[in-house]
Structure 1
């Protein structure tokens, strides 16, 4: 049993599964490092920014991305606890995440945007489904200790900030990257004012679910690297 557990820990799950795939990904990251040049991010923050650049080939994220000082450490700790979960504003985020990587950390994903009760509540209150989806996650007790990823709906992020401030919701980390022209920039600026919980945001209108997936994959990679380093030093 011990041998099997050790073998699992030493088998990478957050990299490409073939040498060819790994070579392409590593070459892409090396190109980004070279072309990005000097930056102000820490050694743990840069892999998150770099993977976001990789997802969209957009170097604007080098500078637009902002981190709460404890964001990366909080994300890694939540993942390694194997008691966390991912709550997303839209299904696209959940579908985009690697199943083996989620399984490695015992992560379940949740989204409620298409639930019938969420739609009915939004229609009754003349609000958005995204708002009601965040409220449902709070009612179910899923926000506390979760990594919440928002890439599509600014109203979801605005509501999440309200739930933190007024309802005592305490996510482990907010990855708030909604894209758009109405309230997107404002929602992220609002999230960046939070002191109660750590956050990662992108200034301005840019964002999207693919960037949330990229950021989460970067955090999964960092968490596995930390585990593997500790495994090697303890063996």
Structure 2
């Protein structure tokens, strides 16, 4: 016999995660987000590597309640975000990685499409960022902050990998931007999407 009902499976999973996590330094709300990250990855190490800055949860929840556009750096993150929950907010979701302008600028400037896609997002007034794949996208956001071109309402910064990922997240944590990031090499588009979903469920429920 095995559990067949989706919510029953999820609830059982969350109970298991809760038992393993035990006492933490996270607030109850932060713990909900971390549990969602663990649930998505099956990796309990996330309870040790997640860092919140700038009153991330309150600012991110307030931003989502106020509506606007959330930018994601990949189609994978875009696909992983719960559209039913998103539709209950005043927010929409965009990515520009396949935009022909990003491809064109990337060739002209000798940088990644991910970095150029951030410029496109900022040019459209987007100020909520979900980065799960490209360190160059996260670095570019911070460059635009330094240039006074964007003041992010929040940044989810969990790009995965071995080249620039750790460093981009360390740089993010130097800023007084409402953010969530991971320490080390772990992260990814699925992790980024799980964080957004946790926020959405806090705002609109399941």
**Does the TM-score normalized on the shorter chain lie above 0.5?**
yes
1:210 aligns with 2:180: no
**Alpha-carbon deviation of 1:20?**
2.1
Rounded to whole Å, the distance in 1 between the matches of 2:69 and 2:34 is 22
Q: Relative to structure 2, which stretch is displaced further, 20-29 or 200-209?
A: 20-29
1:220 aligns with 2:200: yes
1:66 aligns with 2:47: no
Q: State the structure with more CA Rg.
A: 1
Aligned to 2:156: 175
Structure 2 runs not aligned, ≥5 long: none
Of 153, 156, 165, 2:137 maps to 156
**Alpha-carbon deviation of 1:69?**
4.1
Q: Which SS does the other structure have where 1:78 is aligned?
A: helix
Q: Which stretches of structure 1, 4 residues or more, deviate above 4 A after TM superposition?
A: none
Rounded to whole Å, the distance in 2 between the matches of 1:20 and 1:78 is 33
Q: After superposition, give the CA deviation of every residue in 1:75-123 in whole Å (9 maximum; x if it has no partner).
A: 1111112x22210111111111111111000221111111111111111
Which protein has greater RCO, CA pairs closer than 8 Å, 6+ apart?
2
Aligned to 1:16: none
Aligned to 1:47: 32
Rounded to whole Å, the distance in 2 between the matches of 1:124 and 1:69 is 36
1:188 aligns with 2:169: yes
Rounded to whole Å, the distance in 2 between the matches of 1:96 and 1:107 is 16
Q: Which SS does the other structure have where 1:175 is aligned?
A: strand
Q: Aligned runs of 1:1-235 on 2, under 5 Å?
A: 20-81=5-66, 83-143=67-127, 146=128, 148-195=129-176, 197-224=177-204
Rounded to whole Å, the distance in 2 between the matches of 1:75 and 1:122 is 30
Whether contact under 8 Å (2:160, 2:186) holds in the other structure is yes
Q: Which SS does the other structure have where 2:87 is aligned?
A: helix
TM-score, with length taken from structure 2:
0.94
Rounded to whole Å, the distance in 2 between the matches of 1:31 and 1:95 is 26
TM-score, with length taken from structure 1:
0.83
Root-mean-square deviation over aligned CA pairs: 1.5
Rounded to whole Å, the distance in 2 between the matches of 1:40 and 1:51 is 16
Q: After superposition, give the CA deviation of every residue in 1:37-87 in whole Å (9 maximum; x if it has no partner).
A: 221111110000000000011011101000014100011111112x22210
Q: Relative to structure 2, which stretch is displaced further, 165-174 or 39-48?
A: 165-174
